[in-house]
Amino acid sequence: MRFLIATAAAMAIVALAPASGQAAPGPQIFNVSPTTTVEIGTTQGDYSGRIDVHLIAWDQPHVSLRRVLRGVTPDDVTTDVEQTAAGISIHTPFRGRAPRARGLLGLLGATDWGRVSVSYELYVPAKSHVALHLANGSATVDGILGAIDGGTSNGDLTLNAVGGPLDLTTSNGDIRATLAASERAPSIHLGTSNGDITVER
């Protein structure tokens, strides 16, 4: 399975556009392989917002995807989910104008990037390989036993009861990892330019 934030031709597209501050009706369900790749990234649009991700392991051969918008309207953000035999792509372009700042700055035309965000909650097979490529946002991963790599440019990474190799970085944030019980410790490569790194068993 692949969650890929990139445009690809000849893919089925599912558009999610819930009201601001509310979860999309559903969740969206996708059939996948029990050992697949989940790749999640950030797509630039007219402006950049925050994208936070929570991945939770389960024992189903499916991916369940739900999202919540904050600080934007459905016209400002569209989630296009594309699925092929190789996996799934999630695109999150921000369109139009970012929300205005409050008070005098707003009257002067300033925007408030901090009020713009999309949150994703994904249930994925426990043995998935997770690849994170976030430009601005945090990620929490619970119970994944496959490899986890990539990272975020601005945000924290929290890994709970993970069991596979870790190769993750963040430019501005903390990394906290708790390893699942195992006879063999996985290979671990973690880095941050401005933050703390904690690994526990």
> For the segment 122-172, what is each residue's pLDDT rounded down to a tens digit?
999 999 999 898 888 899 999 999 999 999 988 999 999 999 999 999 999
Look at the chain and report how many structural domains it folds into.
1
Domain annotation covers residue 182: no
Taking Cα atoms as reference points, which of 89, 191, 201, 199 lies closest to residue 149?
A: 191
| pTM for the full predicted model | 0.78
Domain, as residue range, for 68: 3-97+113-155
Domain annotation covers residue 198: no
Give 71 or 164, the one with higher predicted confidence.
164
Domain annotation covers residue 164: no
Give 91 or 160, the one with higher predicted confidence.
160
Domain annotation covers residue 8: yes
Domain annotation covers residue 187: no
Give 34 or 82, the one with higher predicted confidence.
34
Domain annotation covers residue 186: no
Residue 183 has pLDDT above 70, yes or no: no
Domain annotation covers residue 84: yes
